[in-house]
């Protein structure tokens, strides 16, 4: 759904709310959406907190594999909810262990579930939420391999018109990006010839976990694990590739690339750098690079689009603008080209309003009955990154068709019942 469709849907929903006191989901349109967080880590907690503070949703339930994470989530949302004038999550709606996702999906006291678990589990948890009749806010990526994305597309068919599903590409809701993409699609760059994009960030860090088994360590340190995360291109860099897909209105047709682990020495098998050239329709090439070993608090993410009438620069931090005979700069852009790194994704600068706008759009889709279904768009961006990952691993050109036919399938190799 693009911005114009969303605004049109919101306008229609306003009239609907005046005429019908109940939504298609069966509760009062003006009542609070009962919201559950599955995965009480840094990013999950930050996103759910944004929902609590910026929408009518109330965080009433929590689920996590580990008791310490569940306890921390409970303490946090007790404080957040108290500050908003209502009670924290009920003890009866705290679910721990491998089956926590099924218990959340089955609960009659929950309307929507936020899926903030390691990416390997996203599709499995999304399926349970949809089958349980729950709306779902699923963090990216929608799957770590082609088999999972195929499964996700089947879930999309089951969800369509029944529940609302959003994927966590909050940048598409950030006002500066919405406006610059509108201008690009309006022809202000003319014919786009090529793109350069990059994502440079510090490495992820974890505390020690004394006494943890190897399997537990893998899950607790999932950002270091290629199977659990999908590697840095699919898990983190996907935001920039999603912007490229958004602007270019499609997915790449082929890619060549390289990847390496040249600096990082911590446990795990994820790459610490990528260099990929994607070829999109009309022979538009996107030259993408990423690193994940930069100094702490140094963060540089951007995409630059070159057209025959001008250049568009779309950084997370710094001037977001179009350079042409008719120049334009987003009024709220900062002057510095790089920003500090927020490990929980709580960014400022050009992304300052991204989460709150995204959150409001999702909750309004529920209360209005104008349900979203962003699974297919999420799959397209995930597969775009998998294309680059496969090309880098194989060290040769890989086409979109080859990816879909022969894409890597990831096996976890962990008996999850031990965490019951």
Task: Please determine, for residue 304, whether its predicted confidence score (pLDDT) is greater than 80.
Answer: yes
- From CA 191, how far away is CA 276, in angstroms rounded? 22
User: In 3D, which of 106, 110, 159, 116 has the Cα closest to residue 137?
Assistant: 116
| Residues 242/172, Cβ–Cβ less than 8 Å | yes
pTM above 0.75, yes or no: yes
The 10s digit of each residue's pLDDT in 332-353 is 876 655 666 666 666 778 999 9
Give me the domains of the chain, ranges plus CATH numbers: 3-171+362-373 (3.40.50.720), 172-350+378-406 (3.30.360.10)
Burial of 175 (0-12, 13-18, 19+ CB in 10 A): middle
Query: What is the rounded average pLDDT of the residues 75-87?
Result: 98
Mean pLDDT of all residues in the chain?
Answer: 92
How much of the chain exceeds pLDDT 70, in percent?
90
Number of Cβ atoms within 10 Å of the Cβ of 68: 12
How many CA atoms within 13 Å lie on the side-chain side of 273? 10
Tell me the pLDDT band of 298, cut-offs 50, 70 and 90: confident
What is residue 340's predicted lDDT score, i.e. its pLDDT?
63
The 10s digit of each residue's pLDDT in 373-401 is 999 999 999 999 999 999 999 999 999 99
Query: What is the rounded average pLDDT of the residues 400-404?
Result: 98
- From CA 398, how far away is CA 383, in angstroms rounded? 12
Distances, alpha carbon 243 to alpha carbons 17, 34, 90, 107, 257, in Å:
33, 31, 39, 36, 19
Query: What is the rounded average pLDDT of the residues 2-13?
Result: 43
Asked whether the CA dihedral 96, 100, 105, 107 is positive or negative, the reply is negative
State both tokens at 202. Answer: 């510090």
Tell me the pLDDT band of 295, cut-offs 50, 70 and 90: confident
């Amino acid at each position: 759904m693009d911005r114009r469709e969303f605004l049109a849907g919101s306008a229609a929903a306003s009239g609907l709310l005046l005429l019908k006191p109940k939504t298609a989901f069966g509760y009062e349109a003006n009542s609070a959406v009962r919201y559950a967080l599955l995965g009480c880590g840094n990013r999950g907690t930050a996103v759910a907190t944004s929902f609590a503070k910026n929408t009518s949703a109330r965080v009433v339930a929590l689920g996590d594999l580990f008791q310490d994470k569940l306890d921390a989530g409970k303490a946090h949302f007790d404080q957040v909810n108290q500050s908003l004038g209502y009670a924290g999550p009920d003890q009866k709606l705290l679910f721990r262990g491998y089956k926590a996702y099924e218990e959340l999906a089955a609960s009659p006291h929950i309307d929507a579930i936020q899926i903030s678990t390691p990416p390997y589990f996203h599709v499995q948890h999304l399926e349970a939420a949809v089958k349980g009749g729950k709306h779902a806010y699923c963090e990216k990526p929608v799957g770590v391999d082609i088999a999972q994305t195929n499964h996700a597309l089947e879930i999309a068919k089951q969800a369509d018109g029944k529940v609302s599903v959003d994927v966590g590409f909050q940048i598409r809701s950030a006002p500066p990006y919405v406006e610059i993409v509108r201008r690009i699609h309006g022809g202000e760059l003319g014919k786009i010839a090529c793109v350069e994009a990059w994502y440079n960030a510090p490495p992820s860090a974890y505390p020690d976990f004394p006494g943890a088994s190897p399997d537990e360590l893998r899950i607790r340190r999932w950002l270091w694990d290629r199977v659990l995360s999908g590697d840095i291109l699919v898990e983190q860099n996907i935001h920039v590739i999603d912007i490229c897909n958004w602007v270019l209105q499609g997915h790449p047709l082929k890619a060549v690339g390289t990847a390496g682990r040249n600096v990082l020495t911590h446990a795990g098998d994820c790459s610490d750098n990528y260099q990929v050239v994607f070829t999109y329709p009309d022979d538009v090439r996107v030259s993408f690079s990423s690193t994940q070993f930069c100094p702490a608090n140094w963060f540089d993410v951007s995409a630059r689009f070159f057209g025959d009438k001008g250049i568009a620069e779309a950084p997370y931090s710094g001037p977001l603008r179009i350079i042409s005979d008719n120049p334009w700069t987003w009024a709220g852009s900062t002057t510095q080209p790089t920003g500090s790194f927020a490990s929980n994704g709580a960014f400022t600068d050009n992304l300052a309003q991204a989460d709150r706008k995204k959150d409001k759009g999702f909750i309004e889709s529920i209360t209005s009955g104008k349900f979203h279904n962003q699974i297919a768009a999420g799959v397209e961006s995930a597969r775009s990154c998998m294309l680059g990952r496969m090309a880098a691993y194989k060290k040769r050109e890989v086409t979109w068709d080859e990816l879909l036919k022969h894409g890597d399938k990831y096996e976890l190799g962990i008996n999850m019942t031990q965490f019951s």
